[in-house]
Amino acid sequence: MKFEQERKQVVEYGKKLITSGLTKGTGGNISIYIPEEERMIITPSGMDYFSLEAEDILVMDFEGNVIEGDHKPSSEYSMHRIFYQKRTDILALVHVHSVYATTLATLGWEIPAMHYLVAVGGGNNIPVAPYATFGTSELADNAYESMKGRFAVLLSNHGLLTGGTTLDNAFSKAEEIEFCAEIYYRTKTVGEPRMLSEQEMEKMVWRFGSYGQGGDEKL
């Protein structure tokens, strides 16, 4: 089986999507990119994460061909593909329907610099991509354009997308940004949050680039 370790990792993190509360049911999707072979490892469409085995995870090329795997790939295949085709700093993507990030995305609210952890997204805000139907090239284009210079984007009336150098890193970003979304929503219910300065956020972006035991591998 090709890319066995990567496929096992996708299975592991698929379960974490549910146990962490980042998504419900079969919602969301995960992928890893292997640049040396231009192959994408991605979750299948509509399958229970706890039923998945490594062989259920698909290996695909950029033309949409399934190289290994017997199932239909995630409906968001094109959204994952566009990042791997156009960005060299993203090697894994996590898409979730977490409650607070999706709430803000439905309101059309970006997440501003109200907490230093917003900087894990690569800047002083988490932007919102314009709405498009799920599984379409329009959604892929909107996500890519809105996430330029960032590692996270809210998908309007849909959910959250995060990217990183590893799947662990992309997943950690999803967790931290969901936390920021919850804090922002809660503070807005009682008042206006105080914002951090652009200079402070620039400092935070730089610091997160070297945080932890292995650089930006884990937040």
Q: What residues are annotated to the active site? A: 76
Asked if 174 and 160 touch (Cβ cutoff 8 Å), the reply is yes
Name 51's Cβ contacts closer than 8 Å, sequence gap at least 6.
none
Distance CA 30, CA 52 (A): 13
The H or E element spanning position 93 is strand 92-96
Distance CA 21, CA 18 (A): 5
Taking alpha carbons only, the member of 39, 80, 43, 46 closest to residue 58 is 43
Beta-bridged to residue 31, according to DSSP, are: 42, 93
The SS3 assignment for 104 reads helix
Asked if 177 and 160 touch (Cβ cutoff 8 Å), the reply is yes
Distance CA 165, CA 216 (A): 8
Taking the CB of residue 120, how many other CB atoms lie within 10 A of it?
A: 27
Taking alpha carbons only, the member of 182, 22, 181, 169 closest to residue 95 is 22
